[in-house]
Amino acid sequence: MPFTLSHGVKIHYEAEGDGPPLVLHHGGWGCIEDWYEYGYVDRLKDHFRLILIDARAYGKSDKPHDPEQYSPEIHADDIVSILDDMNVTKCHFMGFSFGGRVGYWMGRFHPQRLLSLIILGSDPYLWDMDQMNGWIATTQTLDEWVPTDPVLSDKHKARWLENDKQALIASISRPFPDVSHVLQSLDLHFLVLCGDQDDSFEDAKRSAKEARNATFVQLDGFNHPDTLFRSDVIVLHVIKFLSSFKND
């Protein structure tokens, strides 16, 4: 089970497949297993060298309870530590929800390590403390609402209930900054996909319009979880987009 050390914290990752390197970063409350359960690994591993990451506080990675351990720069440094451990100079990066924010943070702090960005149901704009407090409140009550959630599979519910809530709350205890200035500064192409029933839809669409080299895909009828669950649709767009980088 591979780990790397970043800012004194063990970060767990896995590698699957062969081809150009593609990092997959899960969303909030998620972990590496999400990509397996919803078919991304099976659909992508014949095309790419998949680098699957458990963010700090998630999965098999360490779970600090200190909010200072969760800055955007540290999250981006975690990705670089894994790339260095694998001797990968540059990667394509795909992130869902919170993972999309980590992608933008990579664009802010380590753009030279990116070949492209794929953002699923996310945006680079400010999340203030009112928004973070809503996420904290929902995290605090995971044990109450997850068992009866009508959308999640039993496996997915079990993963969410195994989370260290104190670590998760530490990780979201301050605002996510606005890093939208990277949209104009990034000298790379990226793809933004978002469902028209997703609360992030308007901001995701706006981000693609403001970017130098972004393509926006509207997923009709998709809500936020659908963008993770429906790999049958998402992967078609991903492979089409990344086919132009096949010689990298």
**pLDDT value of position 248:** 46
With bands split at pLDDT 50, 70 and 90, how would you rate the model's confidence at 208?
very high
Instruction: Provide φ and ψ at 162, rounded to 5°.
Output: -80, -10
In Å, the largest CA–CA distance within the chain is: 49
Inter-CA distances, 23 with 32, 54, 103, 157, 159, Å: 11, 11, 10, 24, 21
Inter-CA distances, 168 with 88, 231, 237, Å: 29, 26, 31
Q: Give the domain range for residue 214.
A: 3-245
Percent of the chain exceeding pLDDT 90 equals 98
pLDDT in tens, 18-77: 999 999 999 999 999 999 999 999 999 999 999 999 999 999 999 999 999 999 999 999
pLDDT above 70 for 142 = yes
Number of structural domains the chain divides into: 1
Instruction: Provide φ and ψ at 46, rounded to 5°.
Output: -80, -10
Tell me the residue type at 88.
V
pLDDT above 60 for 98 = yes
Task: Write the CATH number for 125.
Answer: 3.40.50.1820
Residues sharing a CB contact under 8 Å with residue 50, sequence separation 6 or more, in sequence order: 15, 16, 17, 22, 24, 35, 41, 44
Tell me the residue type at 6.
S
Side by side, the strands of the sheet bearing 190-195 are 3-6, 9-16, 49-53, 21-25, 91-96, 114-120, 190-195, 214-219
With bands split at pLDDT 50, 70 and 90, how would you rate the model's confidence at 246?
low
**pLDDT value of position 175:** 97
pLDDT in tens, 217-236: 999 999 999 999 999 999 99
pLDDT above 80 for 183 = yes
**pLDDT value of position 245:** 79
pLDDT above 80 for 136 = yes
